[in-house]
Amino acid sequence: MENAAIAAVFEEMAELLEFRSENPFRIRAYRNGAKAIRDLDESVTSILADDTRDLSSIPGIGKTLLDKTKTLVSSGQLPQLLKLRQEIPDVVIQMARIPGLGAKKAIKLQQELQIDSLSDLRAACQQDRIAKLKGFGGKTQQAILDGLAIAEAAAERIYWSQGDQLAKAIGQHMENCPVIRKMAWAGSYRRGRETVGDLDLLIVAEDRPTAMDHLETYPELSSTILRGETKISIRVGKAFQVDMRAVDDNQFGAALQYFTGSQAHNIHTRRIAKENGLKINEYGVFSLEDNAQVAGETEEDVYAAIGLRWIAPELREDRHEFEWSREDKLPQLIEQKDICGDLHMHTNATDGAATLREMADAAVTRNLSYIAITDHSQRVSMARGLDAERLRAQWNMIDQVRTEYEGRLTILKGIECDILEPGGMDLPDDCLEEADWVLASIHYGQKQPRDQITERLLGAIENPWVSCIAHPTGRLINRRPPYEVDMESVMQAVKQHGKLLELNANPARLDLNDVHLAAAKRLGIPVVISSDAHSTDGLDVMRYGIKQARRGGLSREDVGNTRPWEELKTLVQRG
Ligand code: DGT
Ligand code: CA
Ligand code: CA
Ligand code: ZN
């Protein structure tokens, strides 16, 4: 058994005994023993095996710990630990990690109020039951509530869109700081990951303490976690962490490259550097021979120094970017300005907030040349989904409105038609046939087995009038996993039947994900990026879809709605 493993067992013993408010000397004995063993540069196992040696002569390890260590090394287990783990429920350990609570109080709460989960704990606070408990009081109750929020928020990754809002607000605040000469966001936010764990800001400043002071005056700041000479970490709002690092001008590119990550990408760049007799880190690229700096000021220089073309941050996940960069095959990634239409949006005929004309005006303002109105079909009763009659009435209205927008905007007759639980479409074929654009999607029966969901999707793909599958996996980021579905078969069928796949740009959906998008591209399936807007402002989520598409490596050509409608229409096989 490794020393580290033995030390970890003693550490856990100490923690659990602490939960039980055991004798502090006993707790400390375990802690000291854990540290002694962790820091020991010889193997405890071999010392025990050597008759001439005495483990208990090592400071920190007394007679009791010697016996425990022997048991542990010979059997791989410590019965006392197993027993303690059974006695102390998980929720107590979770509660004890909440700032402002701690072990003793956690145990007391669990025992006296029968708290079984963190949501029980929150409820107890809200019902004022904790304030009434002996030894707690109103202040402690409030501290627990605050601590709960921090513990929960710190565990959650926020949507990229929320990270973006925060980054823009902090960026604006920092622009008013006169000592800052350069500033850039790095990390997962820059890579456009669908969720962001924390934000990473890099700056070049004439006076670092002043720049840090300025960050600390950010109005939403709730606390400073740590502050050193080059790095400061703060909490913003409920608990979100923002790191800011100050670097030298001639290291800026190297730092930006390093702190953009991903870690897997960085490990790969280090390997390439080494193969070229170079060393790469957050300070620059250096010659292994004489340590001279070869690059560092810009990212382009840094990549060039190790024989690579600059790689867009969205691609830096150590997937295919290195081979593409080496072979000069990096895709020219899609940009917002390439988009000319939006083929998924709702009006107040169903669950949207705006009228048909308001949506059309909003689309014109956003320089789109065509939109499809795709309200829900009847199965979605909660949204007052359209039956064939109401749908045809909407299309009549579109016929009238169309003339008003001639030469400015093409309004397509569309529908987001549900794929029913037993399979089949929610509206008859003769109705779907009259549409310009038919989205098929699943909103019910999402927990069905994989085969059944796959069959439903295949059925929709085979329907002659369906144009595109909307939000193909049904996932909601942080809230609902994708349904079980054989995406391989779905994509094959989409390809075979000449249909399209949607990338739903809603920041909570971003469905398809980056990996599926890369697969669609490989198979030559055109992807349509759509807002799924339920209001005029909802059209603006398009840019989150663009980010996701870039992570999937999509170029302009890979995306259907970068083409005029007349051209896009020919990509869809209908009838
Ligand atoms: P996040 O914050 O969880 O959404 O993801 P990142 O990628 O922003 O991760 P973060 O904030 O921990 O660090 C930012 C970047 O810094 C990361 O992508 C790569 C780089 N980095 C940080 N720590 C290490 C490390 O120990 N080794 C290497 N190679 N790179 C690191
Ligand atoms: Ca980060
Ligand atoms: Ca970070
Ligand atoms: Zn929709």
Rounded to 5°, angle at Cα 453 from 450 and 459: 135
Mean predicted confidence (pLDDT) in 172-185: 97
Considering the chain, tell me which residue range(s) the CATH 3.30.210.10 domain(s) occupy: 269-326
Report the pLDDT value the prediction gives residue 87, as an integer from 0 to 100.
Answer: 84
Query: What confidence category does residue 97 fall into, taking pLDDT thresholds of 50, 70 and 90?
Result: confident
List 242's β-bridge partners, or say none.
199, 234
The answer to whether the CB of 196 is under 6 A from ligand 1 is yes
Cα 157 to ligand 1 centre (Å): 14
Considering the chain, tell me which residue range(s) the CATH 3.20.20.140 domain(s) occupy: 336-571
Residue 482 CB partners (closer than 8 Å, separation 6+): 473, 474, 475, 511
Rounded to whole angstroms, the Cα distance separating 331 from 380 reads: 40
The answer to whether the CB of 414 is under 6 A from ligand 1 is no
Could you tell me which CATH class the domain 158-246 is placed in?
alpha beta
> Whose Cα sits closest to atom 3 in ligand 1?
197
Report the pLDDT value the prediction gives residue 155, as an integer from 0 to 100.
Answer: 67
Chosen CATH of 90-154 out of 3.40.190.10, 2.60.40.1180, 3.30.70.260, 1.10.150.20: 1.10.150.20
Judged against a pLDDT cut of 70, whether residue 544 lies above it is answered with yes
3-87 carries CATH number 1.10.150.110: yes
Choose one of 185, 240, 266, 551 to mutate for the ligand 1 pocket test, by most ligand atoms within 8 angstroms of C-beta: 266
Ranges 23-27, 515-519, 546-550, most confident: 546-550
- Residue pair 376/344 in contact (Cβ under 8 Å)? The answer is no
pLDDT tens column, 184-205:
999 999 999 999 999 999 999 9
pLDDT tens column, 438-495:
999 999 999 999 999 999 999 999 999 999 999 999 999 988 889 989 999 999 999 9
Q: Which of 55-64, 315-324, 339-348 has the lowest mean pLDDT?
A: 55-64
Query: Does residue 314 sit in helix, strand or coil?
Result: helix
Residue 46 CB partners (closer than 8 Å, separation 6+): none
Query: Does residue 90 sit in helix, strand or coil?
Result: helix
> Whose Cα sits closest to atom 9 in ligand 1?
187
Mean predicted confidence (pLDDT) in 38-67: 88
Report the pLDDT value the prediction gives residue 238, as an integer from 0 to 100.
Answer: 74
In the chain, pLDDT over 70 holds for what percent of residues? 99
Rounded to whole angstroms, the Cα distance separating 416 from 385 reads: 9
Cα 245 to ligand 3 centre (Å): 10
Rounded to whole angstroms, the Cα distance separating 165 from 477 reads: 18
Report the pLDDT value the prediction gives residue 454, as an integer from 0 to 100.
Answer: 96
> Whose Cα sits closest to atom 28 in ligand 1?
263
Report the pLDDT value the prediction gives residue 149, as an integer from 0 to 100.
Answer: 76
Considering the chain, tell me which residue range(s) the CATH 3.30.460.10 domain(s) occupy: 158-246
Rounded to whole angstroms, the Cα distance separating 88 from 84 reads: 6
DSSP 111-172: HHH---SHHHHHHHHHTTTTTTSTTTHHHHHHHHHHHHHHHHHHHPPEEHHHHHHHHHHHHH
Q: Domain 336-571 adopts which CATH fold?
A: TIM Barrel (3.20.20)
**352: which 2 tokens?**
């949207």
Cα 352 to ligand 4 centre (Å): 9
Report the pLDDT value the prediction gives residue 521, as an integer from 0 to 100.
Answer: 96
Report the pLDDT value the prediction gives residue 148, as an integer from 0 to 100.
Answer: 84
Query: Does residue 212 sit in helix, strand or coil?
Result: helix
Report the pLDDT value the prediction gives residue 422, as an integer from 0 to 100.
Answer: 97
Report the pLDDT value the prediction gives residue 247, as an integer from 0 to 100.
Answer: 97
Cα 239 to ligand 3 centre (Å): 14
Q: What is the mean pLDDT of the chain?
A: 94
Judged against a pLDDT cut of 80, whether residue 398 lies above it is answered with yes
Q: What is the DSSP letter of 514?
A: H
- Residue pair 344/467 in contact (Cβ under 8 Å)? The answer is no
The answer to whether the CB of 257 is under 6 A from ligand 1 is no
Could you tell me which CATH class the domain 269-326 is placed in?
alpha beta
Rounded to 5°, angle at Cα 43 from 41 and 47: 115
- Output the CA torsion 67→70→71→74 (10° steps): -170
Closest CA to 202 of 299, 342, 62: 299
Judged against a pLDDT cut of 80, whether residue 369 lies above it is answered with yes
Report the pLDDT value the prediction gives residue 481, as an integer from 0 to 100.
Answer: 86
Judged against a pLDDT cut of 80, whether residue 418 lies above it is answered with yes
- Which ligand neighbours the alpha carbon of 167 most closely? 2
Q: Which of 15-19, 62-66, 452-456 has the lowest mean pLDDT?
A: 15-19
- Residue pair 426/420 in contact (Cβ under 8 Å)? The answer is yes
Cα 310 to ligand 3 centre (Å): 23
Closest CA to 525 of 451, 468, 480, 463: 468
Judged against a pLDDT cut of 70, whether residue 154 lies above it is answered with no
Report the pLDDT value the prediction gives residue 153, as an integer from 0 to 100.
Answer: 65
Q: Which atom of ligand 1 is nearest to the CA of 270?
A: 29
Considering the chain, tell me which residue range(s) the CATH 1.10.150.20 domain(s) occupy: 90-154
